[in-house]
């Protein structure tokens, strides 16, 4: 596999950082190629703007999709955006390691999506979902929560986790054509003992060793009601 | 009403910009106070980090919630974060005007949530949902989509809009105790005629004039299955 890990946590020694490190340590000896985009470490910008592009299709009115189409045709993405598009197209397997903040992606990771999933290269011209440009590739979320598992069950006080993840699984990953693997979730590592955290990392190692045989969620991403 | 508009679009003359302008024009003559946080215009940072705080509770390990608690006790938020917290606490009505990007908030607006909805001031100590610190206040999303309305209906190819909005409505707004008003959505303004866009802005004016009488969605935020 060619694995791109997109990592978003501001503390390098966080438990989410351990998820990233364990993935590199586990996958590399198995013969997989692994690249890491550590968004906080590289100071990746989260906001979409003129700085995404080396030139303008319309200098008087910024419509991001139009500029993305233009830059896709002419190869004029700013270097930070262009480098991430290249890595995304290189990978056949994409892992996102992050803390779930406000039931969603940290802003820096959402910014990676906004700026890198560009019209004209990653989607557009009717290529979405089953005909998406990233068809045949696979993606998996690996994240931590603050609350305990029970609070994310159907009827739990935070709401069903599959529903909370639906905009990410369906609207970002499956939209591009990537098959979505079941997420790997560590509930409340901040409240765990060292032994429990070590056990969670062992479970992560096992998940990674089996990733090639893992069945994707399917187009409904675990939310048949949608 | 004291209305805070948090606005996120990189093009000042966009249709979303018109939603912002119309809200100011409509609400001010009715005697309401209106403030606007125009995130792109003020260059608001989206990424959470040490720059959010004037001093450190733990300089060796960055745990954002711990630093937010510390800064809440000591009043040591960085000026950009502190100013937005003050505006949020000032308001009794919060409007977010933005384009729906990737079935979610633009990163710069998610960054406003990550950095401004701080533990120790906006939540924490068990004050969540019905007992949230922002109880008694109201919030409403006003946004544009790329796709047509039918694609966001239950069974539509993008999925039920209420499900897509659930992490925002439930996990961000209602989590803090704010009552969530039904969203105001303009589907596909980029494909509309000038007349259709003008009609959409008229509908927005009417929504704004009736906002004080508008019934909130309730705790399930339109997703009984969660």
- A82-121 residue pLDDT tens: 999 999 999 999 999 999 999 999 999 999 999 999 999 9
pLDDT tens string A192-223 = 999 999 999 999 999 999 999 999 998 889 88
Q: B38 near B20, Cβ under 8 Å?
A: yes
Mean pLDDT of all residues in B22-44: 98
CB contact under 8 A, B111 and A163: no
Average pLDDT, stretch B198-214?
Answer: 97
Which pTM was predicted?
0.97
- Averaged pLDDT for residues B155-165: 85
End-to-end CA distance of chain B: 32
What tokens were used for B222? 């339109």
The whole-number pLDDT of residue A53 equals: 98
Q: How confident is the model at residue B130 (pLDDT cuts 50, 70, 90)?
A: confident
pLDDT tens digits along B43-87: 999 999 999 999 999 999 999 999 999 999 999 999 999 999 999
Find the residue in B nearest to A158 (Cα): B171
Tell me the C-alpha distance between B165 and B147, whole Å. 15
Please answer yes or no on whether B104 and A167 come within 8 Å at the CB atom. Answer: yes
Q: So what's the pLDDT on residue B87? A: 98
Work out the minimum CA distance from A11 to partner chain B, whole angstroms: 5
**DSSP letters spanning A99-137:** E-BTTB--HHHHHHHHHHS-BTTTBBTTB-GGG-TTTT-
Task: Tell me the pLDDT tens digit for each residue of A111-121.
Answer: 999 999 999 99
pLDDT in tens, A145-189: 998 988 888 778 777 898 999 999 999 999 999 999 999 999 999
Mean pLDDT of chain A: 95
State the smallest CA–CA distance between residue B31 and chain A in angstroms: 33
Q: Which tokens go with B117?
A: 């909805």
Q: Which is it for strands A93-99 and A184-187: parallel, antiparallel or unpaired?
A: unpaired
From the list B49, B159, B168, the residue facing A40 with the nearest CB is B49
B159 with A175: Cβ contact below 8 A: no
Give residues with Cβ within 8 angstroms of B144, minimum separation 6.
Answer: B15, B16, B19, B99, B100, B185, B186, B187, B188, B189
**Residue from A76, A165, A93 nearest A134 by CA:** A93
pLDDT at B157: 78
Which pLDDT belongs to residue B17? 98
Question: What's the confidence (pLDDT) of residue A200?
Answer: 98
Model pLDDT, residue B212: 96
pLDDT band at A125 (very low <50, low <70, confident <90, very high): confident
CA distance B122 to B134: 7
* pLDDT confidence band for A20 (50 / 70 / 90): very high
ipTM over 0.95: yes
**Is-contact A86 A39, C-beta < 8 A?**
no
The domains found in chain A, sorted by start residue, are 2-213 (3.40.50.360)
Residues β-bridged to residue A4: A35, A94
Question: Chain B closest CA to A66's CA: distance in Å?
Answer: 11
């Amino acid at each position: 596999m060619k694995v791109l890990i997109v990592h978003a946590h501001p503390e390098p020694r966080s438990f989410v950082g351990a998820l990233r490190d364990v993935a590199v340590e586990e996958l590399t000896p198995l013969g997989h190629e692994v690249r890491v985009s550590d968004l906080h470490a590289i100071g990746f910008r989260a906001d979409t703007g003129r700085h995404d592009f080396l030139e303008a299709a319309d200098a008087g009115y910024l419509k991001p999709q139009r500029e993305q189409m233009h830059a896709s045709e002419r190869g004029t993405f700013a270097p930070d955006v262009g480098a991430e598009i290249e890595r995304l197209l290189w990978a056949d397997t994409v892992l996102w390691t992050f803390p779930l903040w406000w039931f969603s992606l940290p802003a820096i990771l959402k910014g990676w999506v906004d700026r890198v999933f560009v019209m004209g290269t990653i989607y557009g011209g009717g290529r979405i979902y089953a005909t998406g440009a990233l068809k045949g590739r696979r993606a998996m979320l690996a994240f931590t929560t603050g609350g305990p598992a029970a609070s994310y069950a159907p009827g739990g006080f935070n709401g069903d986790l599959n529903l909370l993840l639906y905009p990410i699984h369906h609207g970002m990953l499956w939209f591009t054509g990537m098959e979505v693997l079941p997420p790997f979730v560590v509930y409340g590592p901040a409240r765990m003992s060292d032994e429990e955290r070590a056990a969670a990392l062992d479970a992560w190692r096992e998940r990674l060793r089996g990733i090639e045989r893992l069945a994707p969620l399917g187009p409904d991403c675990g939310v048949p009601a949608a």
